[in-house]
Each structure stands twice: as C-alpha cells, then as structure tokens.
Copies of this chain bind each other. A is one copy, B any other.
Amino acid sequence: MARIVMKFGGTSVGDINRIRNVARHVKREVDAGHQVAVVVSAMSGKTNELVGWARELSPLHDAREYDTVVASGEQVTSGLLAIALQSIGVNARSWQGWQIPLKTDASHGAARIADIDGSLLVERFNQGQVAVIAGFQGIAPDNRISTLGRGGSDTSAVAIAAAVKADRCDIYTDVDGVYTTDPRMEPKARRLKKVSFEEMLEMASLGAKVLQVRSVELAMVHKVRTFVRSSFEDPDAPGMGDFDNPPGTLICDEEEIVEQQVVTGIAYAKDEAQISLRRVSDRPGVSAGIFGPLAEANINVDMIVQNISEDGSFTDITFTVPSGDLAKALDVLDKARAAIGFDQIQHDDGMAKVSVIGIGMRSHAGVAATAFKALADKNINIRAITTSEIKISILIDRDYTELAVRTLHAVYGLDKAM
C-alpha cells in the first residue's frame, strides 16, 4: 500500500468522456490498494472563458473577485470527477481549497501556499476515500478564495503530496513524459526514464512546457518523487499500474539516477528579443539604472552580457527580453536614457535561445566547447552565451532554431538509446 497524488490538467478533463477516463486511471490505483488524492484543473477552455469575462468588465479588476470567478472552474471539475468515481464504485469526495484548508498568503491572483493541513485528507484516506481536490486554489487570510497563478494545479499537486507525505506525485498530461528535446522539433528525441530535480528546473525555466517551474522547485525542496505521464493512454493497458516502474519520466533526486548522462536534454525558447546598449558609461550603479526600471515595468530580463569597450570607460550591454515585451522595454529605456547614459540602442526581435542541460556538466570539462564547435560547423552565429553549473544557453538567430536543436541533440548522443 502506498499513497499517491495524481494530477490531471485541463485537456485531460476537457469533456465528460475524458473525465470518465480519468476516473478509470484513479480506479486502477485504488484497486491496487493505494490511497489516492486527485488534483484537477478546470476543463480546458473554461479558465480562459472566465478570465475573458473578468477582463471584459474591467482590465484592472480586483484580484480577489478574479480569484472567486476563476477558481470556479476547478470546483466544477472536482465535483464532476467525484461523481464519475462514485458511478464506477469508487468512494470519493471533492475538496475545495477552503475546505482542506490549503492556506495561502494574501497575494490574490498569484498566491503562494503558506500551509496545508493534511489531517482531514489523511483521515479520509484511512477510511478508504479518494480525495478529489480542486487545484489552483486556496484560501487567503481574509477568508476569501485565492488562486496560485498560471500552472497552479501542478503546484497544488506537489504541495499536497508533500503535506500528506505521498510516496509519489503523478502529473498526468497530454505528453507521455519528459523528452531529451521537443519531439516536434527533433523526431529522434527520446523519452527520459529519470531526470533530476535540478535538470527539470532548468528545462522548465528554459522553455519545456511539460511542468511549471514552481511545482518543480517545490518538488525539489520537499523531495517529492514526481512522475510525468500521459492521461490519454488506456488506463488499464499493461504496466500502467506498475508501482515501481510506471510508464513516463520520474523526476527525482539526482542520487537516484545511477547512470548520469553528461547532457540530459536540449531546451529552446523561440520568442526572444535582443537589446543592445552601445557605449554605456562604465560607472557603479549603471546596471541598476538599466534593469531597475525594466523590473518595475514587469519585464523579465533573461540573458545579460556585458563587454568592456576598448578604452575601459565605456561598455556595451546586451540582454534579452520576451518578444512580446520588446516595445515596452524600448519605451522604458528611452525614458531612462538620460539617467543611464548611452550612445545607441539596438534591438533584434528575431532571436531564439537554445540550452544544453545536464547535471553531469559539473564533473565534465569541454561540454560548452563541443556545443560551440558543433554550431560553428553548421555556420550558426552565436549572439550571446550564458552558463550555469548545469546548463549552457546560447542565443542565435531564430531561423536556425531547429538546426541548432538537432545539431546539439546529435552531438551529445541524445538520439542514441541509452
């Protein structure tokens, strides 16, 4: 007997038949003798409809009311799934955030989880009841409904798994695991059997959409063994209920991964814009003068590269922002021009960022050099580079994204069966 948290996203519960299918996944685990909590998102499209109404009424709406409106989507799914489970003989009940309670801070619209009291859930587990939990929502100190922001249901699931000390948190989604790279970009991409929390965190941050960054952070902190697996497979296909070795990708502590590869995956993000400030006067506080106003305007600055100019008193600063924020960023910088002091501003909206990720880089030299050579051999120009202990990110022209991803995927041997 184990305790499992299962999470199903919007497409997995997108209509009544899919909810029935989810119920069969849950029944499989219950029949195997496990205690189960299920965390559900809103039916796909519902959240967007609700958000659309709130925005139509007022672009600057009260986040507390927004939460009240939007959290209803998960409420509906939780009740429907409980009904579906009962109809196939599984003892189940729905739980809203305020009933558990799942307490958050007061940041309505993007709340952080403060505390989860798992005692009521555990009491019901021991009575053989499945908890069907509305994801994405909690209760704020003002006794009002709060939501966790985009992708919040993943975060709910991992947090609940930590609170009830679950043996595993299964994230069911529309892909069947985490791949060495996006299979739509490189058909030779392979599904990873295991990936470390740190690597997954980089992948999620760097453009892999399979899991939200916050949920991976939380899983890493609380050491929640998290599986990414498909909700669209037949719930009763052979091996689906294999406790030790289910189909999908396990995200776990790196110590669990015996045969660590040097490079685990290639991520990319296509919507990058590059901004360069030429001949910025090189004095203390100049970086704060540039990036302070951008942060205040809620613009996410990513790669930052600074080159010292020939005479040492000026510098060139290059950085990237999401393409959608380019116009706003240029506007902010233009207004701050006098305060910053620079000669010229250049920008290019046609950039992409390709990243090589692997925990093995820590102990292997030459990983970066291999990437640079491989790209050079394909005549792909490198615009900027940033590195961390376990990843290398390279800015290139967007037109070369696919070529770069495939080249890097091949040069590190990721297309070969392990």
- Chain A residues packing against B (C-beta within 8 Å): 16, 19-20, 50, 53-54, 56-58, 61-62, 64-69, 72-73, 75-76, 78-80, 82-84, 86-87, 93-94, 96, 98-99, 143-145
Cα distance A75–B68 in the bound complex, in angstroms: 7
Let me know if A69 and B79 touch, CB within 8 A: yes
With A16-B56, A19-B57, A57-B84 as given contacts, are A72 and B76 in contact (CB-CB < 8 Å)? Answer: yes
Interface of A is mostly: helix
Cα distance A66–B79 in the bound complex, in angstroms: 7
Let me know if A76 and B57 touch, CB within 8 A: no
**Nearest-Cβ distance from residue A366 to partner chain B, whole angstroms:** 56
Let me know if B54 and A83 touch, CB within 8 A: yes
Specify which of B87, B93, B94 is in contact with A58 (CB 8 Å cutoff): B87
Chain B residue with minimal CB distance to A143?
B99
What chain B residues lie within 8 Å of A19 (beta carbons)? 57
Cα distance A66–B82 in the bound complex, in angstroms: 10
Most buried by B among A20, A62, A73, A143: A62
What chain B residues lie within 8 Å of A86 (beta carbons)? 58, 61-62, 65
Cα distance A83–B61 in the bound complex, in angstroms: 6
Cα distance A349–B335 in the bound complex, in angstroms: 80
What chain B residues lie within 8 Å of A94 (beta carbons)? 65, 68
**Nearest-Cβ distance from residue A95 to partner chain B, whole angstroms:** 9
What chain B residues lie within 8 Å of A96 (beta carbons)? 68, 145
What chain B residues lie within 8 Å of A75 (beta carbons)? 68-69, 72, 75
Chain B residue with minimal CB distance to A70?
B79
Cα distance A364–B19 in the bound complex, in angstroms: 62
Let me know if A83 and B65 touch, CB within 8 A: yes
Q: How many chain copies does the complex carry?
A: 2
With A19-B57, A68-B78 given, name 8 new contacts (CB 8 A): A20-B57, A54-B83, A61-B87, A64-B93, A65-B86, A68-B75, A69-B80, A72-B73
Let me know if B57 and A83 touch, CB within 8 A: yes
Q: Mind listing 5 A-B residue pairs with CB under 8 Å?
A: A16-B56, A16-B57, A65-B93, A67-B79, A69-B83
Let me know if B99 and A83 touch, CB within 8 A: no
What chain B residues lie within 8 Å of A62 (beta carbons)? 82-83, 86, 93
**Nearest-Cβ distance from residue A210 to partner chain B, whole angstroms:** 28
Specify which of B20, B58, B83, B93 is in contact with A83 (CB 8 Å cutoff): B58
**Nearest-Cβ distance from residue A67 to partner chain B, whole angstroms:** 8
Cα distance A61–B96 in the bound complex, in angstroms: 18
What chain B residues lie within 8 Å of A80 (beta carbons)? 53-54, 57, 65, 69
Cα distance A98–B143 in the bound complex, in angstroms: 10
Cα distance A415–B58 in the bound complex, in angstroms: 47
9 interchain residue pairs of minimum CB distance: A69-B79, A68-B79, A58-B87, A72-B72, A65-B79, A61-B83, A65-B82, A57-B83, A72-B75
Chain B residue with minimal CB distance to A72?
B72
Cα distance A62–B83 in the bound complex, in angstroms: 6
Cα distance A87–B19 in the bound complex, in angstroms: 37
Cα distance A15–B84 in the bound complex, in angstroms: 30
Most buried by B among A61, A80, A82, A84: A80
Chain B residue with minimal CB distance to A50?
B76
**Nearest-Cβ distance from residue A297 to partner chain B, whole angstroms:** 24
Cα distance A75–B53 in the bound complex, in angstroms: 13
**Nearest-Cβ distance from residue A138 to partner chain B, whole angstroms:** 14
What chain B residues lie within 8 Å of A57 (beta carbons)? 16, 19-20, 80, 83-84, 87
**Nearest-Cβ distance from residue A232 to partner chain B, whole angstroms:** 19
**Nearest-Cβ distance from residue A282 to partner chain B, whole angstroms:** 48
